[in-house]
């Protein structure tokens, strides 16, 4: 599949500002990255030597903010080993920047809302049900027959371990999720000692949304709508379908003990990071060996992520933490989700199942068989007419039309329904998934409103089946093979045949091939972290996974997401731990990563970037039976054209002598931006993350070595990227160092940026998105006629009268590389400031008309008339005009439509007529915020403002 990153331009004007200007400082990527902060509510880690001997609540009361009565404690964390502190909600305004500096406070973070886990694809249903209504069953139907129903186990070598009796016995896995329906027979049918779900806790209750008060309960049972996710992840870990019930499904570690911790309610809301941390600490306290977390949020920075410290402390105490990397692969590089981006978490990417494990057969009137994918057979549908979306538009509907992205198709469908042309009781709506229009962005929700009861989805390209469920609409899928079969049937229908019918008469379950099987799912989020740590660490089956579902929802569901891949790795870690109980967490990670199998890009000869797959597809059998240890488990080369040599140690733990060979396997080179750079590479897919063959080279101090039993040896690997001409495109190179002996192969993934981000600087120079504005530059912008016209290179005049017809100055800048702080302000036209980049010709003399107002003290010694826009990832005080938020992958635009700016002390500054210049500064990577030399800067042309007094 060719997958596009959402890099189209946002509206140039929008958002909010501390001043009365219309300001946009917007991320061009995903709204999923937005962070919702619970007002005046904080996680506070307390210093151990501050009033020693007191409990966290008592210590808080000794701090300056805690000495006031205006607060209540939400959570108390009294683990001196993992996290000692509180989460607290204050009744009055408290700013985080001040709180972090308070005596007795070791660290502090805002309490934020973590979105509830949403699978990328979800196919559910009740047996013999025409809709998605709930159908609670005392027993499970028997649908055995699919030979490869447990294909994910075979893909990862788990089936071979099960055949040896290795099933995770003696290992405890904590699942932090939406709770679990432990009444499900495949999950043991009960809760408590002696059951598969042996322990757990409900931290929130049914009604929790992330904003109201949680209602804890010792029972993690969740059978409600919205609570199903945890039942599915628990099944992937440990389900065992009873004999003659279900599909014959088996989890990865069916003999492991499962502890279920509920942190999400039944509603559509999320949870909060302080609740999740409480669950993590409880899991460790209850004896977890492995913690599995299938949810996430955040913005790609490890810095100041509260999960980072807790994950590290859990790992240091012997608890492996496995976390999903996220389902926002469409956003491209640098979008891992938290807590998956935590440095010491084993973050997991998703790989597509080799088959669609549940399919049934329908026949047309000519007895042509068509296999459709559904959890249960749709035999109750009987004979149905197939009606293609887009019929009635006057042109033959093709896959693009039937995708539903054009709203005209829905108008035509509504019209046909109103005329009585269609009877939805015996008609199925046929829709398509295409590369140009996947269901994530279309209007399929229109179907239910029109009256559609059943939809059939086919794929026209090498797309993943990715339709989301629709309330009241049953959805059936066709795999690639059967999609083509249906297309061929339609192409060869007799000219006089106006209708096509299918009879749903098959009730025997089967599996059908998945063309995308064993490739990294397009939805799986990319790493690395902003700090250039390799994430994800490893991959496992997560696309089209059949597992348990609450009994009230039919008992089973077919879901896709890194949520599904994560418990698979947790179960794999349990299998390894059960056989190697002496292994520390880092050793556990290393064995799983080194024995994983690197995967290729779908349809290409290139190995997929480690930013997509980490070490590759887990091979649990190889991990358990490995007798060679490789250290380190990953190589983070950071950002440099000449990274330092890396030392790699091989230890032979076998009982005999071994000869090892060493080789380099380059992986795909990727970059965020295409067709965005002056003179850049001509890639026709605007904004896509497209794998390129720009291989790094590698030299080894030794190409082979011989080790006796128990012996270790170290060699050096010098990895050198190719020189990159477009550093502003956020390029990432990747690959593997492979060590092999006989039939055994071990891989160490590496990742790096081929240039120094500090030297390149955050500002994207001469960057021009196709059909849009160049950056950095100033444009004339009219609210009544948006679009922007390039201004004169050295000076231009603007009238600020308040009329919508005014041509206003629009300052437009792109920052691609990470920066902790970006500032856009107005300075004196005759400033002596020397920028990194001139937005005008400094040799052209101008007769300045300086305004009759004084400049403010400004920032770092540069006098200023005021701030247009500023953003930082660091905490800011409550009265600061600087916004806390993303500072890379931004289009920073400031439209001056009002003569009012804001000073650094958050006071309003009224501009008068005169000449000004825009000054933009962005802190370089690893720069010192207090050092002016550590900023990259752009000084723009003269803005001659004619201000009409109000």
Active site amino acids: 177, 229, 563
Helix (H) or strand (E) holding 412: helix 408-418
Closest CA to 916 of 807, 782, 808, 825: 825
Residue 339: cis peptide before it, omega within 30 degrees of 0:
yes
124, 132 contact by CB (below 8 A): yes
Bond before 334 cis per omega within 30 degrees: no
**Coil/strand/helix, residue 581:** coil
The gap between the terminal CA atoms of the chain, to the nearest Å, is 57
Q: Find out whether 501 and 306 touch, Cβ atoms under 8 Å.
A: no
In whole angstroms, what is the distance from residue 644 CA to residue 443 CA? 51
Q: Are 296 and 337 in contact (CB under 8 A)?
A: yes
* Side-chain half-sphere CA neighbours of 357 within 13 A: 31
d(CA 55, CA 84): 9
DSSP character at residue 617: B
Rounded distance between C-alpha atoms, residue 870 and residue 822, angstroms = 6
Cα angle 614-616-619, degrees, rounded to a multiple of 5: 135
Cα angle 170-171-175, degrees, rounded to a multiple of 5: 140
Residues 6+ positions from 400 with CB-CB distance below 8 Å: 432, 434, 436, 437
Among 160, 120, 139, residue whose Cα is nearest residue 244: 139
C-alpha 493/C-alpha 17 separation (Å) is 60
Per-residue CA distances from 344 to 105, 111, 228, 239 (Å): 24, 21, 28, 28
Residue 418's φ and ψ, nearest 5 degrees, are: -65, -35
Q: Is the omega angle on the peptide bond into residue 776 within 30 degrees of 0, that is, cis?
A: yes
CA atoms of 890 and 738, how far apart (whole Å): 37
Other C-beta atoms within 10 Å of 287: how many?
12
Beta strands in 417-481 (DSSP E): 427-433, 454-459, 474-477
- Nearest to 105, CA basis, from 60, 149, 69, 67: 60
Q: Is the peptide bond before 632 cis (omega within 30 degrees of 0)?
A: yes
Q: Spell out the alpha helix ranges (H) of 188-328.
A: 229-238, 273-285, 306-316
Do residues 260 and 232 make contact, with C-beta atoms less than 8 angstroms apart?
no
* Cα–Cα distance for residue pair 858/909, rounded to 1 Å: 12
β-bridge pairing 257-262 and 197-202: parallel
Closest CA to 561 of 252, 336, 322, 350: 350
Cα(836)–Cα(821) distance, integer angstroms: 16
Instruction: Give yes or no for a contact between 916 and 943, defined as CB atoms under 8 angstroms apart.
Output: yes
Q: On the CB side of 492, how many CA atoms lie within 13 Å of its CA?
A: 8
- Helix or strand or coil: residue 934? helix
Yes or no: say if 220 and 200 are a contact pair by the CB < 8 Å rule: yes
d(CA 810, CA 791): 10
In the three-class reduction of DSSP (H, G, I as helix; E, B as strand; rest coil), residue 398 is classed as: coil
Which sign, positive or negative, has the C-alpha torsion 127, 132, 135, 139? positive
């Amino acid at each position: 599949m060719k997958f596009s990153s959402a890099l189209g331009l946002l509206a140039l004007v929008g958002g909010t500002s501390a001043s009365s200007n219309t300001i946009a400082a917007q991320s061009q990527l995903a709204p999923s990255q937005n962070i919702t902060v619970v007002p005046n509510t904080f996680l506070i880690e307390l210093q151990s030597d501050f009033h020693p001997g007191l409990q966290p609540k008592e210590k808080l009361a000794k701090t300056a903010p805690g000495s006031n009565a205006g607060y209540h404690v939400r959570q108390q964390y009294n683990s001196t080993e993992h996290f000692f502190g509180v989460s607290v909600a204050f009744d009055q305004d408290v700013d985080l920047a001040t709180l972090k500096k308070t005596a007795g406070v070791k660290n502090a973070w805002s309490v934020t809302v973590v979105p509830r886990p949403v699978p990328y694809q979800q196919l559910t249903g009740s047996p013999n049900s025409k809709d998605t209504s709930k159908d609670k069953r005392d027993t499970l139907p028997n649908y055995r027959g699919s030979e490869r129903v447990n294909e994910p186990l075979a893909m990862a070598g788990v089936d071979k371990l099960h055949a040896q009796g290795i099933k995770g016995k003696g290992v405890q896995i904590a699942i932090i999720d939406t709770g679990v329906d432990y009444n499900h027979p495949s999950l043991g049918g009960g809760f408590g000692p002696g059951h598969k779900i042996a322990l757990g806790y409900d931290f929130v209750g049914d009604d929790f949304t992330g904003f109201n008060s949680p209602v804890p309960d010792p029972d993690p049972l969740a059978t409600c709508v919205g609570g199903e996710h945890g039942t599915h992840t628990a099944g992937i870990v440990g389900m065992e379908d009873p004999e003659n019930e279900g599909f014959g499904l088996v989890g990865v570690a069916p003999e492991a003990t499962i502890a279920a911790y509920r942190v999400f309610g039944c509603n559509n809301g999320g949870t909060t990071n302080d609740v999740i941390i409480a669950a993590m600490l409880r899991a460790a306290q209850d004896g977890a060996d492995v913690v599995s977390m299938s949810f996430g949020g955040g913005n790609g920075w490890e810095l100041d992520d509260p999960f980072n410290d807790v994950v590290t402390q859990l790992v240091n105490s012997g608890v492996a933490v496995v976390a999903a990397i996220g389902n926002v692969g469409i956003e491209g590089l640098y979008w891992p989700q938290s807590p998956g981006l935590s440095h010491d978490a084993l973050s997991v990417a998703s790989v597509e199942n080799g088959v669609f494990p549940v399919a049934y057969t329908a026949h047309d009137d000519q007895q042509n068989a068509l296999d459709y994918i559904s959890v249960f057979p749709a035999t109750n549908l009987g004979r149905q007419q197939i009606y293609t979306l887009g019929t009635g538009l006057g042109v033959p509907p093709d896959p693009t039309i039937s995708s539903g992205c054009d709203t005209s198709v829905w108008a035509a469908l509504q019209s046909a329904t109103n005329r009585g042309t269609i009877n939805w009781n015996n008609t199925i709506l046929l829709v398509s998934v295409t590369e140009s229009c996947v269901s994530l962005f279309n209007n399929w929700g229109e179907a239910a409103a029109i009256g559609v009861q059943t939809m059939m989805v086919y794929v026209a390209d090498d797309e993943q089946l990715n339709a989301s469920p629709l309330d009241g609409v049953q959805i059936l899928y066709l795999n690639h093979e059967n999609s083509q079969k249906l297309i061929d049937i339609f192409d060869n229908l007799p000219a006089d045949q106006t209708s096509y019918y299918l009879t749903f008469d098959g009730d025997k379950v089967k599996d059908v091939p998945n063309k995308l099987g064993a490739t990294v799912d397009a939805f799986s989020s990319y790493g690395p972290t902003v700090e250039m740590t390799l994430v994800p660490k490893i991959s496992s089956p997560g696309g089209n996974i059949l597992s348990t579902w609450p009994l009230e929802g039919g008992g089973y569901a077919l879901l896709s997401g890194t949520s599904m891949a994560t418990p698979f790795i947790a179960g794999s870690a349990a299998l390894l731990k059960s056989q190697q109980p002496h292994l520390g967490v880092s050793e556990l990670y290393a064995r799983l990563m080194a024995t994983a199998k690197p995967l290729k890009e779908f349809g290409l000869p290139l190995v997929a970037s480690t930013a997509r797959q980490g070490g590759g597809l887990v091979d649990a059998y190889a991990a358990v039976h490995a007798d060679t240890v490789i250290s380190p488990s990953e190589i983070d080369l950071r950002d440099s054209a000449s990274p330092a040599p890396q030392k790699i140690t091989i230890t032979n733990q076998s009982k005999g002598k071994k000869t090892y060979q060493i080789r380099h396997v380059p992986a795909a080179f990727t970059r965020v931006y295409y067709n965005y750079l002056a003179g850049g590479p001509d890639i026709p897919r605007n904004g896509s993350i497209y794998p390129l063959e720009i291989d790094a080279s590698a030299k080894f101090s030794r190409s082979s070595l011989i080790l006796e039993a128990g012996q270790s040896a170290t060699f050096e690997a010098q990895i050198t990227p190719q020189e990159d001409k477009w550093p502003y495109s956020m390029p990432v190179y990747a690959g593997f160092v492979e060590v092999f002996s006989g039939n055994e192969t071990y891989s160490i993934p590496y990742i790096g940026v081929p240039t120094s981000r500090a030297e390149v600087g955050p500002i994207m120079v001469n960057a021009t998105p196709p059909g849009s504005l160049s950056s950095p530059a100033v444009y004339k912008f009219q609210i009544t006629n948006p679009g922007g016209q390039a201004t004169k290179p050295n000076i231009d005049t603007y009238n600020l009268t308040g009329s919508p017809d005014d041509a206003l100055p629009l300052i437009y800048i792109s920052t691609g590389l990470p920066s902790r702080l970006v500032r856009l302000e107005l300075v004196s036209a005759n400033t002596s400031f020397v920028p990194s980049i001139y937005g005008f010709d400094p040799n052209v003399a101008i007769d300045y008309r300086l305004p009759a107002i004084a400049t403010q003290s400004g920032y770092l010694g540069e006098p200023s008339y005021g701030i247009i826009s500023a953003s930082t990832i660091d905490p800011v005080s409550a009265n600061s005009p600087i916004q806390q938020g993303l500072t890379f992958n931004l289009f920073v635009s400031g439209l001056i439509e009002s003569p009012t700016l804001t000073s650094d002390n958050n006071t309003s500054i009224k501009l008068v007529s005169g000449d000004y210049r825009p000054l933009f500064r962005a802190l370089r990577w690893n720069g010192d915020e207090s050092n002016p030399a550590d900023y990259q800067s752009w000084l723009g042309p003269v803005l001659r403002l004619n201000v009409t007094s109000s």
